[in-house]
């Protein structure tokens, strides 16, 4: 046996050569072809194994409805060991193992394992150290799984709430639209204001439906068309600009696009408003928020930036994750996640980078030629 290899194995680290030779003496190796099981869950464990060559998958049976499935727990590589728990607690195997490649394994029978553990304290220490690391790793993975489950349950709750809201507000929204239409007929001079009421009412309905689609994991259909970008940006400047009245914040819109662009303008309006709203809520001092628009070959590029406080490291790491909200009393944490979804549904990209020395920059790139 290659003593140099075993000297690097986790189970035999820091052992003198004479002890290692004594442990390896008389032990056998076996070869298992790719795809074949090494140990089976719920069977009696008589041996533990050290991987010399190849990879082994540790898996566990899970029940899903009436079917039994295998969940991968871990992939073990040369130098790793497995199968020790049954030898320690004298219980049935709690997981199975399958060769992912042609593997060569060192076999350590139960009685030999017990003698090694009693006579070589370093081996026992290495075993405990490895099991401790695995436990820590399992704790981290368990926390990640629980976090995902909690997020899924929260999304389910959001979806149920959104469904109820859509049902409950359908009548008042319809009445609002109908009232605006009546006002327009009775007072033609109010047409502009009545149309604005109808437009904003439709946006409310659309926003709630977008939240419902996001919670259900549905793709929101887009209705792209040729759009006058000046009209869209002017509308945003007029409506969002009103929210900055009496605040020492400059709202700048710089449009360098002279031709019509291809997009679902209602969806991209929502994207821009979400980003602008985030900037506005983050800024507590004098500063600026701006939109820059330009064409870059076959893409429309929209840049939303500010010189506010910027993002924390935690926010940067998990930026587009649902339910991520920082410093907002009433924030849902869904804004950026939905924003990214709407951009992706345009087959576009949404990128963040810091605005030095402080602030944020979000870059939206929407393909043009390929979607026409």
What digits encode the pLDDT tens for the residues 336-357? 888 888 899 899 999 999 888 8
Contact 76, 32 (CB under 8 A): no
Query: What span, in angstroms and rounded, lies between the C-alpha atoms of 220 and 345?
Result: 7
Q: What is the arithmetic mean of pLDDT over 296-311? A: 90
Q: In this predicted structure, what is the pLDDT of residue 281?
A: 87
Which of 119-133, 242-256, 321-335 has the least mean pLDDT? 321-335
Q: What confidence tier does 64 reach under pLDDT thresholds 50, 70, 90? A: low
Of residues 112 and 135, the one with the higher pLDDT is 112
Q: How far is CA 303 from the centre of its chain?
A: 24
Position 38 confidence tier, pLDDT thresholds 50, 70, 90: very high
pLDDT-derived band at 65, boundaries 50, 70, 90: very low
Q: How far apart are CA 273 and CA 204, in angstroms?
A: 13
* DSSP secondary structure code for residue 44 in this structure: B
- The encoded tokens of residue 123 equal 């081996």
Highest averaged pLDDT of the listed ranges 164-173, 323-332, 339-348 = 339-348
- Residue 291 β-bridge partners: 253, 304
- Tell me the C-alpha to C-alpha distance, in Å, between residue 59 and each of 183, 186, 243, 344, 345: 68, 72, 55, 35, 36
Q: What is the pLDDT of residue 318?
A: 72
Choose between 34 and 189: higher pLDDT.
Answer: 34
pTM, rounded to two decimals = 0.49
| Token pair in block for residue 158 | 């959001």
Residue 104 is encoded by which pair of tokens? 């060569």
Mention every residue, 6+ apart, whose C-beta is less than 8 A from residue 223: 264, 266
Given this model, what pLDDT does residue 372 score?
A: 44
Q: What is the chain's mean pLDDT, rounded? A: 82
Backbone angles phi, psi at 251, to 5 degrees: -110, 115
> In the numeric block, which tokens belong to residue 128?
């405990």
Pairing of strands 249-255, 287-296: parallel
Q: Report the length, in residues, of the chain.
A: 372
Classified as helix, coil or strand, 10 is helix
pLDDT at 45: 87
Alpha helices in the chain (DSSP H): 3-8, 17-24, 85-89, 110-119, 121-186, 191-216, 229-242, 265-282, 313-317, 335-345
- Examine the pLDDT at 68 and tell me if it is beyond 50: yes
Question: What CATH class does 3-119 carry?
Answer: mainly beta
Which residues have CB under 8 Å from 33's CB, separation 6+? 99, 102
pLDDT value at 370 more than 60:
no
* Amino acid 292: pLDDT: 95
For the beta carbon of residue 271, count every other beta carbon within 10 angstroms. Answer: 25
The winner for highest mean pLDDT among 72-76, 188-192, 207-211 is 188-192
Token digits of residue 288:
């600026």
Give residue 14's region: left, alpha or beta (phi > 0; psi -120 to 50): left
Higher pLDDT, 150 or 176: 176
User: pLDDT at position 141, please?
Assistant: 66
- Tell which CATH architecture fits domain 225-371: 2-Layer Sandwich (3.30)
With cut-offs at 50, 70 and 90, classify the pLDDT of residue 187. Answer: confident
Euclidean distance between CA atoms 4 and 78, whole angstroms: 13
And the tokens for 197? 């009421």
Predicted local confidence at residue 239, as pLDDT: 85
**Phi then psi dihedrals of residue 118, to 5 deg:** -75, -35
């Amino acid at each position: 046996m290659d003593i140099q290899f075993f000297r690097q194995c986790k189970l035999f680290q820091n052992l003198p050569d004479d002890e290692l030779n004594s442990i390896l003496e008389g032990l056998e190796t076996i070869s298992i072809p790719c795809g074949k099981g090494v140990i089976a869950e719920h069977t009696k464990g008589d041996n533990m194994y050290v991987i010399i060559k190849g990879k082994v998958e540790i898996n566990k049976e899970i029940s899903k409805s009436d079917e039994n499935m295998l969940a991968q727990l871990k992939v073990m590589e040369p130098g790793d060991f497995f199968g020790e728990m049954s030898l320690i607690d004298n219980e049935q195997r709690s997981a199975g193992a399958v060769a992912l490649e042609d593997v060569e394994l060192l076999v350590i029978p139960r009685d030999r394992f017990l003698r090694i553990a009693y006579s070589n304290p370093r081996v026992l220490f290495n075993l405990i150290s490895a099991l401790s690391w695995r436990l820590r790793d399992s704790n981290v993975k368990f926390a990640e799984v629980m976090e995902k489950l909690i997020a899924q349950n929260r999304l389910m709750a959001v979806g149920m709430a959104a469904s109820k809201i859509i049902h409950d507000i359908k009548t008042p929204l319809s009445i609002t639209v109908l009232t605006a239409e009546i006002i327009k007929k009775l007072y033609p001079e109010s047409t502009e204001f009545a149309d604005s009421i109808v437009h904003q009412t439709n946006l409310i309905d659309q926003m709630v439906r977008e939240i419902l689609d996001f919670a259900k994991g549905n793709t929101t259909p887009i209705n792209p068309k040729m759009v006058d970008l000046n009209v869209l940006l002017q509308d945003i400047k007029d409506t969002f600009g009103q929210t900055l009245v009496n605040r020492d914040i400059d709202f700048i819109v710089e449009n360098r696009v002279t031709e019509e662009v291809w997009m679902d303008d209602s969806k991209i309006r929502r994207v821009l408003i979400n980003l602008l709203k985030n900037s506005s809520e983050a800024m507590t001092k004098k500063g600026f928020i701006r939109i820059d628009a330009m064409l870059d070959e076959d893409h429309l590029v929209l840049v939303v930036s500010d010189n506010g406080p910027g993002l924390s490291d935690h926010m940067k790491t998990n930026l587009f994750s649902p339910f991520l909200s920082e410093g907002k009393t009433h924030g849902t944490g869904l804004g950026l996640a939905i924003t990214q979804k709407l951009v992706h549904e345009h087959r576009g990209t949404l990128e963040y980078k810091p605005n030095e020395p402080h602030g944020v920059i979000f870059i939206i790139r929407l393909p043009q030629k390929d979607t026409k």
